[in-house]
Structure 1
Amino acid sequence: MGNPKYLTRIDQISQLDKTEKEKLKKVTEKFVFRTNEYYLNLIKWDDPNDPIKRIIIPSMDELIEWGELDASNEHKYTVAPGLEHKYKDTALMLVSRVCGGICRFCFRKRVFLAGNREIMIDVEPGLEYIKKHKEITNVLLSGGDPLMLSTSKLENIISRLRKIDHVQIIRIGTKMVAFNPYRIIDDPKLIELLKKYSTPKKRIYIMTQFNHPREITDVAIEAINLLKEAGTELANQTPLIRGINDSPETLAELFRKLSFIGVPPYYVFQCRPTKGNKAYSVPIEEGYEIFRKATAMVSGLAKRARFAMSHMTGKIEVVGLDDEHIYMKYHRAAKPENYNKFLILKRNPEAYWLDDYEETLSLITV
């Protein structure tokens, strides 16, 4: 196929009828729409419940009033334009406001809205902050999608980060391997860039986002192999999404296929309570049961993911349930004193986020 055409208007989707397009314009007037021809070709249009369609094609359910645009209060940790510093050793650079497609359940959809100024236009303030904070060993490039930048712009950022001695790991959070693997396959300069800056002592990590096993196509695997040959390390993270991967069988198949191609499952995230996301969200306790059953179906190499929520206070891993309680642990914490704190809460089957639990029965260090 080569570089596929990008589509940014719902009336460009020929597989939808006129009535459906008119209805969905109400959604796209509120939340940005974007896809490409490669990804559209993965959809089985005769299946009304097709999971790939659900990932990328708007739904009227997005108009249900629920959630907030910044559900994890990321603005609280912004220390320079486009730079967040939430965890001591990790900085997050928002370097792009464009994606290869817009997931309908995106937790950062606010950055695509007109007037949003969170994306890093000038890298200087962010780089200066990182230089001064020697505790930062990891820098995550995100957005938007960093691989939507030109390779020359990406190199400008990566090369300058590599000049900062204490930055050991550069991570690139991207869904382009699923959305448009030709971005990688058709750009040898990108592979050269990764080979140059992913060194034996300072690796570049590519954090992929495969949400459903059908995204793992032969073309996507070709792109993955090129990234591996370039010396990068890969790991996958996905939210748990209603109608896409919310069955143990589907999630287990995703874990299994990822392990077969050498991309370790890393995180399964609780869907953030972002505006427009109600119909895509699964309650925490139901989600944990799905996750637990899925991991029971696969080998050790396929069960390395953690089920976690990116809460304002930290990355909180769900680790167990009994008849009365749910058990969680701070896997990462914004406040150092919360590291490894273990939470025991009274169960609430309707809880979608930590804040939905009325009472923390115990908060202990383990």
Structure 2
Amino acid sequence: MKYITNIEQIEQIPKAEREKLKAVADTHSFRVSEYYLGLIDWNDPADPIRRLVIPNIAELTNWGHLDASNEAANTVVQGVQHKYPDTALLLCNEACGSYCRYCFRKRLFMNDNEEAVKDIGPGLGYVRQHPEISNVLLTGGDPLLLSTGRLTDMIESIRAIDHVQIIRLGTKMTAFNPWRILDDAPLLELLSTHSTPYKRIYFMNHFDHPRELTDPVIECLDKLIRAGVILTNQCPLIAGINDDPEVLSELFRKLSWIGCPPYYLFQGRPIAGNEPFKVPIVRGWEIFREALRHGAGLARRARFAMSHETGKIEILAVDDKHIYLRYHRAKDANLRGRFLVYERDDNACWLDDLVPVGDAPKFARESLTDVLSGPE
């Protein structure tokens, strides 16, 4: 598969516009697969596939942080994040098949970033020493950009750790380049060997829009299912791409039909460069609620949540005065399952923007130490 890394190569974009977008691509990395580029309707300036991978001048707006969820605080060994007791993340690659413009880990693709590692040996050592870890997520970047040989070494090494039950691969290669799976019989054999009846391999796929679900993609997912892999999907809510209840409902329904049901719909993190993609929490809830009115139960399994630095917080409901939240996962044991009520703010895009009601904590970076000490 050919990958394009220079915006000047995309002749469908007028030359004057390409020159303006070069500054964006130089700031926030640009890369797109030739296949995915072919899905764009160039006659539509608001085409969602175009918006997903083609730079936007508004990305240069001074807004957000590169690590808005403070993942650095969860790094226990280089390349390893351990935020929740039973799950460890191994950042095993610093590149993706294409770069989503709204990526929440775009910092990994910058020249001075060394969070991802080629050698996961120290990370595996950490996992071995922590028997509470039952899930290991290979992520980055995209692990499927690694060779099948390297993936074999990684997966076999993880499978040798008895207390690890589930191996997850976080990937968007099924959308960006389905032939990575279709043309690699040894990869499918590897997955079939190590996705066992008692210890499964999961693909945490990332489809944002129903137009990504092409025939080659569906064939690719079918081969994964037949290899014993469990499929699911998680994606953020993104302005101009899927912030429409009809689009989101169609995505959820089609994913359920092809065996890749929705898992999480994420509130977009306030990442540097992502201002043009933001959707306020209240509007996001309304879109999500309307989308769930359609389809059977398997199309309605997604949780609407935000990955805040203190935990994964589910957005439960919104009324005329309040926003209701609950900790689905929490870094601090004292916060797990805690119910939160905040004043309704139709402009708020993140938990830290909200004003608490009663004793609900106000999450500001400067007061995070007090928050994580737990309730009195």
- Flag whether TM exceeds 0.5 (same fold): yes
The alignment status of 1:270 with 2:267, answered yes or no, reads yes
Tell me which amino acid in the other structure corresponds to 1:312.
E
**Aligned structure 1 segments of 4 or more residues deviating by more than 3 angstroms:** 362-365
User: In the alignment, is the contact (CA less than 8 A) between 1:240 and 1:246 conserved in 2?
Assistant: yes
Partner of 2:96: 99
CA distance in 2, matches of 1:170, 1:77: 19
Any gaps of 5 or more consecutive residues in structure 1?
A: none
1:72-100 C-alpha deviation (Å, 9 max, x unpaired): 00000000010000000000000011100
Partner of 1:184: 181
Partner of 2:153: 156
CA distance in 2, matches of 1:341, 1:109: 31
TM-score scaled by structure 2?
A: 0.95
Choose which of 222, 226, 239 in structure 1 pairs with 2:223: 226
Partner of 1:48: 45
User: In the alignment, is the contact (CA less than 8 A) between 1:345 and 1:362 conserved in 2?
Assistant: no
Structure 1 segment 121-270 matched on structure 2, within 5 A: 121-270=118-267
Q: What is the CA distance between 1:360 and its match in structure 2?
A: 4.2
Tell me which amino acid in the other structure corresponds to 2:355.
E
The alignment status of 1:341 with 2:335, answered yes or no, reads no
Choose which of 73, 79, 82 in structure 2 pairs with 1:82: 79
1:105-164 C-alpha deviation (Å, 9 max, x unpaired): 000000000010100222111011000000000001100000000011111111000000
The alignment status of 1:306 with 2:307, answered yes or no, reads no
Partner of 1:295: 292
User: In the alignment, is the contact (CA less than 8 A) between 1:346 and 1:361 conserved in 2?
Assistant: no
Q: What is the CA distance between 1:298 and its match in structure 2?
A: 1.9
Query: For structure 1, which segment, 292-301 or 109-118, has the greater mean C-alpha deviation from structure 2 after superposition?
Result: 292-301
Choose which of 3, 6, 9 in structure 2 pairs with 1:9: 6
CA distance in 2, matches of 1:263, 1:254: 11
Identity fraction in percent:
57
Partner of 1:62: 59
CA distance in 2, matches of 1:36, 1:179: 6
Structure 1 segment 29-40 matched on structure 2, within 5 A: 29-40=26-37
User: In the alignment, is the contact (CA less than 8 A) between 1:67 and 1:277 conserved in 2?
Assistant: yes
DSSP-derived class of the 1:55 partner: helix
Q: What is the CA distance between 1:272 and its match in structure 2?
A: 0.5
Choose which of 108, 111, 116 in structure 2 pairs with 1:111: 108
Partner of 2:354: 357
CA distance in 1, matches of 2:359, 2:166: 35
Any gaps of 5 or more consecutive residues in structure 2?
A: 362-374
User: In the alignment, is the contact (CA less than 8 A) between 1:343 and 1:361 conserved in 2?
Assistant: no
1:273-324 C-alpha deviation (Å, 9 max, x unpaired): 0000011010011101100000012221100000000000000000001110
DSSP-derived class of the 1:147 partner: helix
DSSP-derived class of the 1:279 partner: helix
Q: What is the CA distance between 1:102 and its match in structure 2?
A: 0.0
Q: How many residues align?
A: 362
User: In the alignment, is the contact (CA less than 8 A) between 1:237 and 1:266 conserved in 2?
Assistant: yes
DSSP-derived class of the 2:235 partner: strand
Partner of 1:320: 317
CA distance in 2, matches of 1:350, 1:62: 19
1:325-355 C-alpha deviation (Å, 9 max, x unpaired): 0000000100111111000111111111000
User: In the alignment, is the contact (CA less than 8 A) between 2:342 and 2:360 conserved in 1?
Assistant: no
The structure-2 alpha-carbon separation of the partners of 1:80 and 1:360, relative to structure 1 and needing over 3 Å to count, comes to farther
Q: What is the CA distance between 1:250 and its match in structure 2?
A: 0.4
